[in-house]
A and B are shown apart, each in its own frame.
Chain A
Amino acid sequence: MPNNQLTIALSKGRMQDDALAMFARAGIVVEESELKSRKLIIHSADGRYAFILVKPGDVPTYVEYGVADAGICGRDVLLESQADVHEPLDLKFGYCRIAVAGKRELMGQDYNLLATVRVATKYKRIASEYFQQKGVPIEVIPLSGSVELAPLIGLSDRIVDLVETGRTLKENGLDVIEVITESTARLVVNRASFHLKRQEVGSLIAQLTDILEKERENAKHA
């Protein structure tokens, strides 16, 4: 009944690779054969960890409901989901900015000239809260991908999206107008698991903290 395995939800894609690499540095290794398989649940070699591979935006949900004890996802996803979870560690990788972008030729235009700004985004909540605070009325146009397209074909005036290097924006004639906030990968932990699997969660946090401190030291010396 009280099972000692920790279930960890990972965002599929690049963040998954970065996360597993960090776990490997912390001594939590997943066999090559597991990695190459198409399984959605994979296990660490020592059997202490099960990783479930899910859509990035779903990580906080799996953790909040406790089907995963912990998870790794971007701060952007956490802000958008407002999930009620613990967030003990900033893992530092997966850096990007959440920014407002728009067409270059409209850059000079003040918001007041646009009665209601149409904003296309995957981040409905972040976008509404940001513009609400600025007192700019907006109409959110929810999209789930290729958000950069929206201003090009007249669907929206602005977009709110993740910006890593800014290359995609540039190539589509868009520029960052304002940075709303920054995002990196975070370790999140379910509130009940935090108590019921205190030992396991504690040692995971300690192992990852160790790696983070080592990396900070190395960065200092480099």
Chain B
Amino acid sequence: MSSLTKIPAGVQYFFDEEVRLRRSVEARAMRVFAGWSYDEIILPMFDYHDLFARGMGVEKAEATYRFVDRDGALLALRPELTSLVARTVATRFLKRARPVRLCYSGEVFRYDDPTERAAREFHQLGVEHIGEPDVVADVEVLLVAAEVLSALGLDDFRIALSHVDFFSGVAGFLGLDDAQRSELRALIDRRNSLALAEFLQKVAAHIEPERRNDFCRLTQIAGKEGAIERAREILLNEKSRAAVEHLGRIYGTLTELGLRDNFDIDLGDTGGQEYYTGLVFKVFVPELGVEIGSGGRYDNLIANFGQAEPAVGFSFALDGLVSAIGKRQSAHAPQTAESAQAISVNGDLVAAFAAARAQRAQQKQVKISAK
């Protein structure tokens, strides 16, 4: 086995055009973050395994590259960045005024089966907005995400909004146990309305069939403000109603800002990740069959590291953004390297390098030729 040509599955090398494109996408996104007063935070590549388990949950922390510190403590390469931010805010930023706005750009590492998912190492760009419980912060981060996409020329993006309390309100109202709850979640997630109807017939026989059918239709297809109105008519529990009202306020604001086409209400998104507590959203662009970014509110996460604080944030996959832009060549001139005039040394080292230094003093690109 030749170790010179072999590379571990799931790692990536970038060069030429792709590096320039990645760096430019990253810079443009970070400029937008800075424009909304998000300060960049640079986070460590690894930390205690326990920190990640405490943050995003044991299950996610299991999918990490782990190794042992000199004192025997278990370390892990970072599988995500939010836990690291949350811990920092809960400890080092304790005395700072709220809200705290932070943004980051960095690689994360997941110990996945590389035959199942292509990359085990990937780059995330994101923001966290901490200390404000309100719709204001929710709308703000959505607008930041929208501006990043526009700044990258991906104007026909679609962001699907949902709220975890819509689902948990219904599950609680129906008095579902854990197994039933995850079955309901899976049925809604697969958008299988027929199987969902059958399931509801079993667990919600006391609710009139018409209302049950409306619920199936509501979760099967994403919609606009109409989805909120229909939800209002169907829902019987306070928790879900409050969730839908909250979405309605966000959606109304976005509509008035002229962003209606870019946003959908998708009550079929049950917010799969456990740490989400409110708004959840997913970002799509036509070039890619998978989501390019996602985010939401996680008001309980920071409590794992200190006192409870509301927080909302999102992250984009840099690889997704880059490949979407790559497929849209026409929208962006290729990012070519500056072309430099070669300076021949021709036996006179001093003359050649003096000329080069003079050009560099004017910020010009130079290229030395030995001949």
A→B interface (CB under 8 Å): 1-2, 63-67, 86-90, 189-196, 198, 201-202, 205, 209, 212
Contacts and interface: CB of A to CB of B under 8 A. Distances in A.
Contacts of B291: 191-192
A8 B288 CA distance: 16
Contacts of B160: 195
A64 B289 contact: yes
Interface string B247-270: 000000000000000001010000
B192 A198 contact: no
B23 interface: no
A63 B190 CA distance: 14
B35 interface: no
Contact of B158 (A63, A86, A196, A205): A196
8 contacts: A87-B190, A89-B192, A90-B194, A189-B191, A191-B291, A194-B222, A198-B223, A209-B193
Interface in B155-175: 156, 158, 160
Contacts of A88: 190-193, 220
Nearest to A88: B191
Nearest to B160: A195
Contacts of A193: 289
Given A198-B222, A202-B221, A192 B194 contact: no
A194 B191 contact: yes
Interface of B: 156, 158, 160, 189-195, 220-223, 264, 266, 282, 284-286, 288-291
A184 to B, nearest CB: 11
B284 A195 contact: yes
Given A64-B289, A66-B289, A195 B222 contact: yes
Contacts of B191: 86-88, 189, 194
A198 B190 contact: no
Nearest to A66: B289
Contacts of A196: 158, 284-286
B289 A192 contact: yes
Contacts of A64: 289-290
